[in-house]
């Protein structure tokens, strides 16, 4: 069995997702050229799972890095698992493939491994990522998410995406897709904010019962420079319990939080563009947490989100009003 397969989770469509992925969302202060360098470094370190999105506006740089690492023989396209996401202004069924094709052009790829609905709220189509009226309020769109899902199914059938899934969905929203008449493909995963302060245990239990993988973002807390991040939350990696466990294992707090997710059967995205931390984060397969460690980390849960967007919170589909 290959090393990539060994550290992978099998999805409900038969494809495999590497358990540890590189997140690429970065605040505007980070130069796009840094993303390109980070992808090349990450592939050299051993990362094979790269997570991005149409909305991150970095897919040209990611594409260049991927093409360079294929050209120099480090990887083949089939070694990589690449995720992109459908942004909310493309939810009308006729726009779903357009968004994916735009990503593919920038990436210089013929397919992505995973295509996700980024957020369960539709916004007015157009050039603006967050279309607003004259009062500065977001202009939403009325689209049945089930019709959006059918358009994702067509992208899979067309070979543009090997697997399809969702992101930031709660149980109710997942059930809406799962109970859709004529459902052709189940979502393979639900990518959500997940870390010891928000361990998503109920959502994880629900997803496991439906054979849907949970993929965790903001696994290390989050970068306070990002627009959607609450600024007054405690810093996860400074937590004393987490640090005590890290010290016991002679590991970093980041390694422990990532290992925590992997031992729960959760795929984890870690975002770092720093070479030393990229290497450290990739060493999570070299140690194991004890049942007592896992219990202590479970005990840190406080249902605390780093990501909240007030401008969307009054929408009926806003997924974070409910615990799971």
pLDDT tens across 55-101, in order?
A: 999 999 999 999 999 999 999 999 999 999 999 999 999 999 999 99
pLDDT tens across 199-220, in order?
A: 999 999 999 999 999 999 999 9
Assess whether pLDDT exceeds 60 at residue 2: no
The answer to the question of whether 321 is labelled as a binding residue is: no
Known active-site residue 56: yes
pLDDT score, position 1: 42
Q: How does the average pLDDT of the chain come out, rounded?
A: 94
pLDDT score, position 308: 78
Which spans in 72-107 are helix H?
93-107
Binning pLDDT at 50, 70 and 90, where does residue 294 land?
very high
Domain boundaries, the chain: 3-312
List the structure tokens of 114.
């995973």
Assess whether pLDDT exceeds 80 at residue 225: no
Poorest-pLDDT segment among 4-13, 89-98, 134-143, 286-295: 4-13
Residue 292 CB neighbours (<10 A): 9
pLDDT score, position 319: 82
Angle between helices 59-71 and 32-45 (to 10 degrees): 40
Residue that the structure tokens 């990518």 belong to = 191
**β-strand 8-10 against 16-18: which pairing, if any?**
antiparallel
Asked if residue 261 lies in contact with residue 216, where contact means CB atoms within 8 angstroms, the answer is yes
Assess whether pLDDT exceeds 60 at residue 3: no
Assess whether pLDDT exceeds 80 at residue 323: no
Binning pLDDT at 50, 70 and 90, where does residue 4 land?
low
Distance of CA 221 to the CA centre of its chain: 14
What's the CATH class of domain 3-312?
A: alpha beta
Q: List the catalytic residue out of 47, 54, 56, 115.
A: 56
What's the CA gap between 84 and 56, in Å, rounded? 10
DSSP conformation letters of 208-228 = HHTT-EEEEESBTB--TTSTT
What's the CA gap between 92 and 316, in Å, rounded? 18
């Amino acid at each position: 069995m290959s090393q990539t397969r060994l550290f992978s989770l099998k999805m409900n469509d038969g494809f495999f997702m590497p358990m540890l992925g590189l997140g690429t969302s970065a605040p505007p202060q980070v130069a796009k050229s840094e993303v390109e360098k980070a992808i090349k470094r990450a592939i050299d370190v051993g990362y094979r799972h790269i997570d991005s999105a149409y909305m991150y506006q970095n897919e040209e740089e990611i594409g260049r890095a991927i093409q360079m690492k294929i050209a120099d023989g480090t990887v083949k396209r089939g070694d990589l698992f690449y995720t992109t996401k459908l942004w909310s202004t493309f939810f009308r069924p006729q726009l779903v493939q357009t968004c994916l094709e735009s990503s593919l052009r920038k990436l210089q790829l013929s397919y992505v491994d995973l295509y996700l609905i980024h957020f369960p709220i539709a916004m007015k189509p157009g050039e603006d990522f967050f279309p607003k009226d004259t009062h500065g309020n977001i202009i939403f769109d009325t689209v049945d998410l089930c019709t959006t899902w059918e358009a994702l199914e067509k992208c899979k059938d067309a070979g543009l995406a090997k697997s399809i899934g969702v992101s930031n969905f709660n149980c109710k929203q997942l059930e809406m897709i799962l109970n859709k008449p004529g459902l052709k493909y189940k979502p393979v995963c639900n990518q959500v904010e997940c870390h010891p302060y928000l361990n998503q245990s109920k959502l994880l239990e629900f997803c496991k019962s439906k054979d849907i993988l949970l993929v965790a973002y903001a696994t290390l807390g989050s970068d306070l420079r990002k627009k959607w991040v609450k600024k007054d939350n405690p810093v996860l990696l400074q937590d004393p319990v987490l640090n005590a466990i890290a010290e016991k294992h002679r590991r970093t707090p980041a390694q422990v939080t990532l290992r925590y997710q992997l031992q729960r059967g959760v795929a984890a995205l870690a975002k770092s563009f720093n070479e030393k931390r990229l290497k450290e984060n990739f060493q999570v397969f070299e140690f194991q947490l004890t049942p007592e460690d896992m219990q202590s980390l479970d005990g840190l849960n406080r249902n605390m989100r780093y990501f909240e967007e007030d401008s969307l919170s009054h929408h009926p589909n806003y997924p974070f009003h409910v615990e799971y």
